[in-house]
Every structure is written in structure tokens, then in C-alpha cells.
Amino acid sequence: MTAYHAPVEEMLFVMSEIGELESLGKLPGYEDATPDLVSAILDEAGKLATDVLDPINVSGDLEGCTLENGVVRTPAGFKEAYAQFIEAGWNSMPFDPEYGGQGLPWLVATGASEIWHGANMAFGLCPMLTGGAVELLSIHASQEIKDTYLEKMISGEWTGTMNLTEPQAGSDLARVRTKAVKEGDKYLISGQKIFITYGEQDFTENIVHLVLARTPDAPEGIKGISLFVVPKFIPNSDGSLGERNDLRCGSLEHKLGINASPTAVMLFGENDGAVGYLVGEENRGIEYMFTMMNNARLAVGLEGVAIAERAYQRARAFAEERVQGRDSAGSSKEPVAIIQHPDVRRMLLSMRAQTEAVRALAYWVAARLDIAHRHTNPATAKTAQAYVDLLTPVVKAWSTDIGVEVANTGIQVHGGMGFIEETGAAQHLRDARIAPIYEGTNGIQAIDLAGRKVAREGGETMMTLIAEMRSSIAAMGHAHERLSKAADELERTTKWISDTYAENPVTALAGAVPYLRLTGITVGGWLMVRMYEAANAKADENPLATQRRRASVSFYARHVLTQAGGLAESVMDGSSVIADTPPEAV
């Protein structure tokens, strides 16, 4: 079974050519993020991934987590790996130096996060959620809450969770029933939350739960939901841990994948009520939680990138070693490695090209986030934030769909051995399958893109992006016919979505999923071509890397971008079939 190796050279290339790393290093506060430093960071991250996280990935999957007398035990090696992780400062990379963060760009933290998830997705979920909680509290919490919690959460000494889902309220958060009753300067929380990743664990002494709940007089629906900090142990004024709060893990879910991460049913306030502290103002909890959810959606999209990379590495190594069948060209009568067979090469090229495209998109959006946060030109920052808002659902949904597709193809490359757990290929598919579901299903992401991000603003930001792509294509000096056609289809369907939504939102949203995929493959194709041009300009420096880049882009253009026309037809013509079919006829 081959070990995971972080694709550092590829990551640095994308950061440089797509993420514009050198330009980011000139933004206020990012001056230390030089290419040499970033290279050293990714190298060290790769070592931790290969030496510590990857070796416990399979064993963690087999062992899983246990709950005994209210105590969760993670698999062997996980607690020790987490201790190494926070001791080296990995948890603090993009956060405020005022509370112990390193203040590095989100683009750099994105690269490191890909490495954690590629080596061990179950492990990577813990710091991922803590990071989202840190960002939320940094923006919306009172100074007192920040001073109490941020330093220990940024260091990783305490972890954070997101408590949204209830048995009757999955994606429909308007149905949340957890109660919050004010008592002095605090609230008493009571209710049940399910699917809480790392809701209980043995990594840290304290866990900071962010919990959605309703106050007694709150309005109905999502407008009546508030957000609370509910710690496992209530901190004393000096920062030490005080009494145990009235909350516990009731059970752990038995899952298809990510078995080494505890997914908890959390019970709050079974006795006197769990002590919680209001974040911001009452009845604005959904608004605040979306800060964490959008952070998590970008991070989950990155999980799709990471799993795709890992599945590709494993499949390619197997294809080089597995001897089966004769050379199709007839040049040898001896059995050959299966990578010699055209269809295996087709599968591997498909895996690699799509992985490179989703990585490029995720990194490009991460760089826009840095620009939005730090650029001194308000107009530039505003445009960057508009792109982040527009493409967050695309990063989440398209990347995780590709993660599942690539992991599935990886099993096919292995043949019968891929169906056997011992090769490790099956775990990648099992782990990847959750990513299109949590943090808002991919169907919800598509509706968000088509409805909230495109139709409600008349497609303005999407059209701006399409214009930028067209300008870039023209400047390249090549026809890039397939990319231009894909951009045409994206423009056509964007206008259709905007026009149709105003009169018939059901029909417009029925085409949302193919519209999101069309957006992904087009923007991804644009970024792939940009990388192709950059590689060609430096072909003499690394001929093999350039050859591989050319192969990826050529495959992507002929096998992926060519889907644009069919997807556009599905959006504009096929959506009526869905909208017009009554539920009883499905």
C-alpha cells in the first residue's frame, strides 16, 4: 500500500501562477509570506502528513471511535498525532497574531489543509471545524468571548464544533427546537443536536460548541434563531477550566466512512441547563453561523480536492506495478504493467486532469479571499469578495462531486483489487461520499448559486467573471476554441437562469445542478489553460512537468470542456421536465 506524498511542487505552481502568491505577499500583513517560506511550510506539512497522519489513516478507519461511560476514545495514534500537530503550530496559520495566530494568507493555509485531508481526512476534520469557529468568533463575538476563547482555540489547545442539525431539522434550520432561556448574563441551553463532528473527543481538555437555539419569545422560522458559545468546561476568569457544563455525548454514529472521526449525538441541558453565552445579538444566529458555514464549505470543497489527489496517487502507483495482459500495440508478447493499456491511461488522465482543475479553482478562490481581506483598493477588495461569494458553492459542490468521481475511478483502475479493502482504494470512496452531503448538500449549493448568487443580482458577478475569462483567453494568443465555447454556454445559461427565475423560479432551480457543474468545468478550464500557458513559458526548466501539464489540459479540453453544450441543454431544456413532473409520477 503506497504512502501519501504531498504534491508540493504542483501546489506551489498553482499558488504562484493561479493564486498569485508573490502579489499576495505585498498585501498589508502578508509581507512574510515569501515563496521560499511557503515552500518550506508545505515541505514540513508534507513530512507530518507522510510520517504521522497517513500511517494511522487505514488503522483509524478499521478501529473507529468508541464511547464508554460518556468518554469518547479516538483510534490509536490520533491523540498523539494531534498533540504533534498543535505543538508545531499548524492550527494557527491564518489567524490573528493578537491571539497567537501566524497571520499567514488563507491561500497558504488552504494548501496545508489539502495536505491534512489528503493524508487523513478523518483527522483533518477536527482542525477544519475549529478554524471555522475561530473565524466566526473573531468577526461576531464580544470582546469578552474573544479574550476567553480565541487564544486557546487558535493554538488548538481547545477545539470548536458546529451544532446545527437536529433529528427533525437537517438542512431546514427553521425547524430548530433547542431552547435558550436567559438567566443573568448567560443562557441555559437544552436540546439535542445530531451529526456533530468531533462533538466529543480525547484530544483536548475543552471543546467549544457553537450552538443554534431559540429564546422563548423568538419569532418563528430562521429569523428567531440565536447563536451561543457552550463550552464543555466553563472557563474561570483566569482562563483555567471550571466546572463541567451540562452537556454530554449520547451516542456515536456508525458511518459509511471517515470512521476515525467521532460523529456525536450531543445532549444539552438534561439537568439544570447547559450554560451558554450569546454571540452578538439575539435572533441573528443564522447570519452569524453562515460565516462559519461558508468557511466550512470552502474547506469541504478542499476535501474533494484532497481525496481526489490521494485516490489518483494510489491508482497510478498500482497501475505501474500491476502486470496484466499484453501490450495493445503488439510490440511485446510479455505481460505489461496495466498503465500501458489505453483505457487505464484514459482513467488516470481523467483523474489527474479533474483533480488539477478543482485544485486550481479552490486555490484561486482562496486567493480572492485574501485579496478581499487585505487589499488597500476598496474596489479590488469588493470584486474579490463578490467572486468568493459567487464561487463558494461551486468549490464546495463541484470539487466534492469530482472527489467522489475520482475515488470511484480509482477503484476501477485497481479492478477486482479495488473492491478489496486491503488496497485502500475503497476507503477513499467511502470517505469522499460524505463531502457532497454535509455543510449543505450539493443540491442546496446549486440552488444557492442559481438563485441567491446569480438570479437575484441579474447575473452581474457571473457576467463580470465571464468577461474576465474572455479577456484572458484573447490575451493568450490562442484560439482555445473549446474554452471559448464553454464560456459562451455559461453566458447563455446565466442569462436564462436570471430571466427564468423572475417568472418561474421552480423551472430555473430545476436546472441548478447542471448549471453549477457547467460553471465549475468552465472556470476550472480557464484556470487550467492559464496554467498551461505558464508551464509552456517555463518548459525548459522542467520538461516532464510541462509534458504532464500539456497532457492534462489537452485531456480536459477534449473530455471535460466538451460537456458544456450538453449541460447547457440540461439547464435550459431539461429543467422543464423536472418542474412539470408531479411528485406522484417520479
Q: What residues are annotated to the active site?
A: 439
CA–centroid distance for 126 within its chain: 13
β-strands 241-244, 233-235 pairing? antiparallel
DSSP string spanning 315-384?
A: HHHHHHH-EEEE-TTSS-SSEEEGGGSHHHHHHHHHHHHHHHHHHHHHHHHHHHHHHHHH-S-HHHHHHH
Residue type, 24: L
DSSP string spanning 197-233?
A: ETSS-SS-SEEEEEEEEE-TTPPSGGGGEEEEEEESE
Q: How would you class 45 by CB atoms within 10 Å of its CB: exposed for 0-12, middle for 13-18, buried for 19 or more?
A: buried
β-strands 225-231, 274-278 pairing? antiparallel
Own/partner long-range contacts of 368-374 (Cβ < 8 Å, ≥24 apart): 369/106, 369/107, 369/298, 370/24, 370/27, 370/30, 370/105, 370/106, 370/107, 371/24, 371/27, 373/106, 374/24, 374/27, 374/28, 374/29, 374/30
CA dist., res. 500 & res. 507, Å (int)? 7
8 Å CB contact between 279 and 211: no
Q: How would you class 28 by CB atoms within 10 Å of its CB: exposed for 0-12, middle for 13-18, buried for 19 or more?
A: exposed
Q: Which three cell numbers stand for residue 36?
A: 521560499
CA dist., res. 462 & res. 447, Å (int)? 15
Region of residue 481 (phi > 0: left; psi between -120 and 50: alpha; otherwise: beta): alpha
Q: How would you class 195 by CB atoms within 10 Å of its CB: exposed for 0-12, middle for 13-18, buried for 19 or more?
A: buried
CA dist., res. 562 & res. 521, Å (int)? 10
Three-state secondary structure string covering 440-485: CCHHHHHHHHHHHHHHHHCCHHHHHHHHHHHHHHHHCCCCCHHHHH
β-strands 186-197, 263-268 pairing? antiparallel
Cα 546-547-549 angle, rounded to 5 deg:
60
Q: What are phi and psi of 158, to 5 degrees?
A: -120, 150
CA dist., res. 74 & res. 260, Å (int)? 7
- Taking the chain, what is the end-to-end CA distance rounded to the nearest angstrom? 44
